[in-house]
Amino acid sequence: MYGASVDDVKHDEKEDAGKMAAFEARIARGEKIEPGDWMPAEYRKQLIRMISQHAHSEIVGMLPEGAWITRAPSLKRKLILLAKVQDEAGHGQYLYHAAETLGISREEMVEMLLTGAAKYSNIFNYPTLNWADIGTIGWLVDGAAIMNQTMLARCSYGPYSRAMVRICMEENFHKKQGQEQVILLSQGTPSQQKMMQDAITRWWWPTLMMFGPHDTDSPNSPLLVRWGIKTRSNDELRQDFVNQMAPDLMALGLELPDPDLRLNEETGNWDFGAINWDEFWRVVKGDGPMNAQRMAARRKAHDDGLWVREALAAYAERQARLN
C-alpha cells in the first residue's frame, strides 16, 4: 500500500538515523565493525572499492616483478623474488576473501578489473627496465605501500584491518630485501651503480604519486576519515615517506630527480617539488606506459584459463552427483 510504504520509508529513515548514530558511536569508541554488523551502504561501497582495488593491485603487481624471476642474476635472488611474488598472490587471495565478507564475489570483482570498472595501483603501469628495478620496488614501492597499509591496519572494518596486519608483516620483509639490494647495487660495480641510479630516477616520482591526489583533490577522503577507514591524509603520508626515504637514498650517493628537494630546517620536513598531476591523472585514466599491456596480460590469463575453470566446475558437479 502506498501509505504504508511511505510510513515504512519514514520508519526506515528513523531507524537508519538511529543505526547510523550507533554505528558512528562504535567507530568513535574504536570498535571494529564485523561482517554481520549493520553498516551504511556507502561504508560498504567504499570498502568494497578500496579492498578490491587493493586485491587487484596485488595481482597486477605480480606482473612487473614476475617478469624478472626468470632473469634474476643469482639463485638466492631468484628464490627471494619468487617467494615475494608468491606472497603478492597470497595477499590478493586474502584480500578478495576480505572483500567477499561485504557481499561481493571474487568473480564479480575480477570482472570489474577486466572491464576497467575497477582500478589498481597506478605504480604498476610503469615498466620494469633493469634488474635494479626489483630492489627499488621492494624498498620504495613496498615501503610506500606499508605506510598506507599500517594506517589501514587500524581501520574500522575488522576483516580488512586483520588482513592488513598480516600483510604488513610480509611487506616489511619485502621492503628489507629491497633495501638490501639497493644498498648492494649502489655500492657495487660501475654498471650496477648505473642501473641503480637509472631505477631510482624512474621510480621516484611515480612512488610519490602512489599516495594519491592532494588532500584538496581527494573527494572520498573526509568520509573515509570520519568512518575510521583512513586515519591519515594522502599528503601527510606522502610527507612522511619523503622524510624517511630522501636522506637514506642520498646517503647512498643516489641522486633524486627533484631540484627542489631540501630539508626545511624550520618544519623539519623535506620539502619537495611539484608533482606532475597531469601524468598522474593520465595514468589513472588508462594512458600510462604499461596500462594496455598489464590489462592484456590479465585478460589473456583469464581467457586462457577459462577451459580449466570450466573443467573444475564440471568435475565438481559430477562429484556432487556421484555422492
Partner 1 sequence: METRLNAGLAEYLIALGDDELILSHRDSEWCGHAPILEEDIAFANLAVDELGHARLWYELAAELLDEDKERFPDHLAYFRDASEWRNVQLVSLPNGDWAFSVLRRYLFDVLEVERLRGLKQSSYKPLAEAAAKIYNEELYHVRHGRAWLPRLGLGTEESHRRMQTALNDLWPFTPQLFQALPGESELSGVVPTTPGLEAEWRTKVVADLASANLNPPEKSNPMNRPRTQQTEHMMDLLSESQMVARANVEARW
- The footprint of partner 1 (CB under 8 A) covers 59, 62-63, 66, 69-79, 82-83, 85-86, 89-90, 92-93, 96, 106, 131, 181, 184, 188-189, 191-192, 297, 300-301, 304-312, 314-315, 318
3-state SS, 70-134, equals: HHCCCHHHHHHHHHHHHHHHHHHHHHHHHHHCCCCCHHHHHHHHHHCCCCCCHHHHCCCCCCHHH
Which residues contact residue 207 at a Cβ distance below 8 angstroms, ignoring those fewer than 6 apart?
123, 140, 141, 144, 241
Q: Are 202 and 126 in contact (CB under 8 A)?
A: yes
> Which of 15/310 has CB closer to partner 1?
310
Tell me the closest approach of the beta carbon of residue 144 to partner 1, in angstroms.
21
- Residue 250 has which C-alpha cell? 642520498
Smallest distance, partner 1 to C-beta of residue 110, A: 9
Query: Residue 38 or residue 315: which is nearer to partner 1 going by CB?
Result: 315
Least distance between partner 1 and beta carbon 67 (Å): 8
- Evaluate whether 156 touches 227 at the Cβ level (below 8 Å): yes
CB of 312 to partner 1, least distance (A): 6
Pick the closer one to partner 1 by CB: 66 or 159: 66
How far is the C-alpha of 261 from the C-alpha of 274, rounded, in Å?
A: 10
How far does the chain reach from its first CA to its final CA, in angstroms? 48
Smaller CB distance to partner 1: residue 136 or 233? 136
Q: How far is the CB of 262 from partner 1 (least distance, A)?
A: 33
Closest Cα to residue 99, out of 56, 137, 37, 138?
56
Smallest separation, CB 290 to partner 1 (Å): 13
What's the rounded Cα separation, in Å, for the pair 239 and 74? Answer: 36
* C-beta of 39 vs 95, nearer to partner 1: 95
The C-alpha atoms of residue 106 and residue 118 are separated, in whole angstroms, by 13
Which residue lies nearer to partner 1 by CB, 153 or 196? 196
